[in-house]
Each structure stands twice: as structure tokens, then as C-alpha cells.
Amino acid sequence: MNKPRIISLCAGAGIGEIGIAAHFDTVLSVDSWWRACVAHMQNHSGVRCVHGDIRDAGLREWARETVGTIDGIIATPPCPSFSQAGPRKPKHADTATFESIADWVQIFQPEFLILENVVGLRRSPVLKRFKASLKEYGYQTVEWILNASSFGVPQHRRRLFLIATKEGAPVPEQPKPTHGLGLQPHRTLRDAIGDLPEEEALALGCAPLSPSRAALMAQIPPGKNWSRLPEEERERVIASCGGKKPHPRICRRYEWSDTPLAVLTGPHVQRFTAPLPPHVNRPFSVVEYLRIQGVTRPFQVFGNLKEKYRQVGNGVPPALMSAVCEAVAAAVTKGVTESFH
């Protein structure tokens, strides 16, 4: 039996595609950042990746004529408008992207839609309007909040998945965790990067620490953070955070037994220092970011160092995406089977 055919919107460099490929056949990927498109094509030579803005009606029409009938759409739109780490501006261009995704659904009428974003999207009226549009087009929706660490990813990364299926079709069941309390243990930093030689870890680059920040971080042992610094330097860190008590992740050094927090779209070593590895006095490298995302196969990213970090940080961990796709694929198969009886 052939895999269901899907279109991937806001596909990025193709990290999530690793998880998608096990369950679906991606016939077209689209992203508005050309460097991400280059990376996607290098990492998935069998997938056609187009550089374009999904808000462009002409692109949608071209895709409809070129691709024809599809079974599903997977969309991982930008999240700065809804992320705790972002500006959360309702008028940000990200919000218009959701309207466009609804337009793609209306035009293609797929059997399902998988949309991934930060949990903060739930607080936004954008989600309410988006779900209303889907309902108008004949779709039912269900929402899952899943943590990547529950599916074998060495990273605590909570994400919202909105699954839309046609009214009356089987509703996918939320995937069951494989790691956690009473299950397999969460994967740790040692599991992710413990075997990496330094030369290999630095192969795709690593952001530098300034001499002053390097001296500061050298004083922090594994498992500790800014609160372990001498008083004068603690005050400096507090001042750099606008006079507010810094988040526990600020100037933190992980232990090997830790499951890291969500990787960001950069090493964030300017205004403050995000968590550092336990064994070296530098930020996590691009390769280490990939490992923490759960990417263990060779993977290419392009551009300057900042752009490489962004391509990796924007990705959906493959194991998490695979778990979601598997659950949706099971429901689609069930619907097809029932239609023959």
C-alpha cells in the first residue's frame, strides 16, 4: 500500500521530514527562507522543495495544478508571535500565515492537517479563528500537547499539535509516551552528545563566548547556575536581565544526567548565557543542537553561524513528528478500511 501523499508547509531545513518520511510521502515542501530550502533539498534529495511564501495565492494555485490530489498537509508555521521567548505581537506577520494555511486546506481538501506550534498559541485568538475556518471547510479538530522527551528525544520540548480531519472521519488517538515515569527513562545529555569527539562536535561551527563571559562561566560547576557566582558577578547578571531575578537556565551548566531544556534558535550568548555543556566552557555547537533535537544521521545546514543555529532550532524533533504522523496515519488507514465495509 502506498503511503499517503502530503504537502509540507513552512518545512524548514527538513528536520521534521525525517519523522514524516516513515509514514507519509512528501510530494512538495515549501519554505520562505531560501537557505532552509537549500538545506531541505540537500537532506532529502527525493523531496521537491520550493522557495516561496505560502501566503501567495499564485503559489497555491501552481501547487494545486502541479501536485494534484493529496491526502494531507503538515504545517509548522513560525512561532515568534506566540512563543514565551518571542514578542507575542498579534499583528505580527506570523498570524497571517495561519489564514493562508486554512486557504491551502480549502483548496486541496485533504483528509487531514497536522499543525505544530508552541503551546502559547493556545492563548491566541489566532488559533480560535483558524479552527473556525477549518470547521467552515468541513473539518473537526483535536489538540495535543506533547513533550518531545516523552518520545525518546533528549530534550524537554513541549509543543502543541492541532490535528484536523474531515467531519465524520475517525479521530486520531493521541500517541502514547514511550519514555518517562514507569516507561523507558528519559534520554539524557550523555545519551545525546556523550560520544561526540570535540572535533566532530565543532564540525558545523560553534558560537564563541566573550572572554568576560567565558571567565564568568568557568566558575559555574555542572548542575549549577548564575546563583553560584560571587555576589558582585551575580549582581551583574541580574542587571543584564533588566534588574529582575534571572531564569534558572541563565548562566547554567548542565550535568550529564540532565535532559536539556528546549534548544532555541541561537546560542544566546550576548545579553545572557543559555545553558552550557558540562565538559567544555563554550556554548552548545550546531552539531550538538542537532543531537539534542534527536538528529543522529548526517545533516546539512547552510549560511552563517547564526543561520545554522536557526535552521536547527526551528526544527521539529524527528521522533516527536514520527509519533504524531503514526497516530494520524493509523486513523487515515482506519477510515479507508471502514469506507470499504
The model's pLDDT over 91-135, given as tens digits with 9 standing for 90+, comes to 555 678 999 999 999 999 999 999 999 999 999 999 999 999 999
> Which carries the bigger pLDDT value, residue 110 or residue 335?
110
Indicate whether 92 and 56 sit together in one domain: yes
Indicate whether 152 and 137 sit together in one domain: yes
pLDDT at 74 over 90: yes
> Which carries the bigger pLDDT value, residue 289 or residue 341?
289
Indicate whether 18 and 101 sit together in one domain: yes
Indicate whether 79 and 15 sit together in one domain: yes
**pLDDT class of 87 with cuts at 50, 70, 90:** very low
Q: What DSSP string runs through 319-337?
A: HHHHHHHHHHHHHHHHHHH
Mean pLDDT for the chain?
92
Lowest mean pLDDT among 98-107, 243-252, 266-275: 266-275
In a domain, 86, yes or no: yes
Q: What is the pLDDT of residue 242?
A: 84
Q: What is the pLDDT of residue 237?
A: 84
In a domain, 246, yes or no: yes
6-44 tens-digit pLDDT: 999 999 999 999 999 999 999 999 999 999 999 999 999
Buried b (16+ CB within 10 A) or exposed e, 189-214: bbbbbeebeeeebbebebbebeeebe
Indicate whether 48 and 77 sit together in one domain: yes
CATH code for the domain in which residue 161 is found: 3.40.50.150
Domain residues for the domain of 41 are 5-176+316-339
Indicate whether 241 and 260 sit together in one domain: yes
Closest by CA to 17, choosing from 300, 334, 330, is 300
CATH code for the domain in which residue 241 is found: 3.90.120.10
Going by C-beta distance under 8 Å and a sequence separation of 6 or more, which residues neighbour residue 285? 201, 202, 204, 205, 206
Report how many domains make up the chain: 2
In a domain, 181, yes or no: no
pLDDT at 341 over 50: no
Indicate whether 321 and 239 sit together in one domain: no
Indicate whether 120 and 199 sit together in one domain: no
Indicate whether 281 and 323 sit together in one domain: no
Instruction: Give the DSSP H/E element, type plus range, for residue 25.
Output: strand 25-31
Q: What is the mean pLDDT of residues 159-171?
A: 97
Closest by CA to 187, choosing from 258, 137, 130, is 258
In a domain, 132, yes or no: yes
pLDDT at 301 over 80: yes
pLDDT at 287 over 60: yes
Indicate whether 195 and 55 sit together in one domain: no
Indicate whether 21 and 54 sit together in one domain: yes
In a domain, 194, yes or no: yes
Indicate whether 210 and 226 sit together in one domain: yes
177-206 tens-digit pLDDT: 999 999 999 999 999 999 999 999 999 999
Instruction: Give the DSSP H/E element, type plus range, for residue 83.
Output: none
